[in-house]
Amino acid sequence: MKGDTHSVQCYGILLMLYPKQYRERFGEEMLEVFRQCDEEACRVPGGHLRLWLHVLLELPSTITYEYLKRKEYMDRDVKYMATAASLLLAPFFLLIAGAVAGSALGLPVNYQIGQAFATYHLVTPVMRVFPAIAGVLALASLGRQVQLAGGVSSAGFGTIKRSWPIVGLLLLSLFALLVLPFHDSGPCVKRFATHPNVGQLETCVRTS
Amino acid sequence: MKATNPSPSVLSAPMLYIVLAVAAEPRHGYEIMKLVEKESGGTVKIGPGTLYGAIKRLLEEGYISEKGGDARRRFYRATPKGTAAISGELDRYRLALTIAKKVGAYPLSNGAGL
């Protein structure tokens, strides 16, 4: 890593996200391949941006795939889960991509952070679709696991317990779905309204 | 009839391209990546994550094997099982192409596929 460019060093750090066994077997080779891609990217205008975009798009799904690739999950479920995790992680990777691009363009850090959040607010409405799809995929995988275990019985509940990564993804999707809509619409003014059945309701009126 | 039926597909698209790339001679990761990109006219680009995920599965299933190198640059070569899998895949494509030609779906009248 010493003597490598910042780009290669960043990739080396991201490789730590892979499972230990996988990293020990393929980490050095992956880093070497990236090093050569990085050298090539230096010679092409916009090469770094293209390279990092490719890397950031494939990284979440390949990392999740390696963690979930176990005997007890079917291939299709592992693919579903990897897609679900990628969708959930997409906003964070978007921020990282923005930071890498900003750094490559030599923008000051304050400006980069401001722009990253502005971009995040701009794309948040689109991002709501991601956890919704992720939730459906996780639910489909969980349903199949339970079905394979013979329906919702003691064995089925045992399967749910064993399938904690799927349940975790499902809960994360629900959480993201609940949280995202309140993040993008500017300041909020609290108002109170009276509902005939429920009583007093607190409502939030967006001012922009 | 049975003998002419190609075996069902066992390799995903990136896995097939990788086995094809190492069928004739041993190659390392970057070479495989560039060969696939070049020979596909730039339409197929495999990133390091996808490449090594596929290599791992191909090694586990015995379609390719290691042929020397060091920790930073290992060489891979297709095994007889890998070569047989390529033949199976190519037979499937050949059969699909024959059917497409027979039913007039290839080449298309609008010029696509020519």
Q: Can you give the three-state secondary structure of B66-109, one letter per residue? A: EEEECCCCEEEEECHHHHHHHHHHHHHHHHHHHHHHHCCCCCCC
* Residue carrying the six token digits 């890998």: B82
In chain A, which among 17-76 make CB contacts under 8 A with chain B?
22, 25-26, 28-34, 36-37, 54-55, 57-59, 62-63, 65-66
pLDDT in tens, A150-202: 555 555 556 556 666 677 777 777 777 676 655 445 554 555 555 455 455 44
Number of A/B CB contacts below 8 angstroms equals: 50
Quote the pTM value: 0.61
Phi, psi of A122 (to 5 degrees): -65, -40
| Chain B residues touching A57 at Cβ < 8 A | 47
Interface contact A62-B50, CB threshold 8 A = yes
Chain A residue with CA closest to B30: the answer is: A33
Contacts of A6 (CB under 8 A, 6+ apart): A103
Q: How far apart are CA B35 and CA B11, in angstroms?
A: 18
pLDDT of residue A204: 45
Q: How far apart are CA A137 and CA A84, in angstroms?
A: 6
B79-105: average pLDDT: 91
Quick check: bond before B107 cis, omega within 30? yes
B31-49: average pLDDT: 89
Interface contact A32-B74, CB threshold 8 A = no
| Chain A residues touching B45 at Cβ < 8 A | 54
pLDDT of residue A198: 47
Residue ranges in chain A assigned as alpha helix (H): 6-14, 20-42, 47-68, 75-104, 109-127, 129-148, 154-162, 164-179
In a 13 Å sphere around the CA of B47, the CA atoms on its Cβ side amount to: 17
B13 is written with which tokens?
Answer: 């698209």
Interface test with A, best of B12, B52, B58, B70 (most A CBs within 10 A): B52
pLDDT of residue B55: 94
Interface contact B56-A65, CB threshold 8 A = no
In a 13 Å sphere around the CA of B4, the CA atoms on its Cβ side amount to: 5
pLDDT of residue A174: 73
| Chain A residues touching B52 at Cβ < 8 A | 26, 29-30, 33
* Residue carrying the six token digits 């971009």: A119
Interface contact A32-B73, CB threshold 8 A = yes
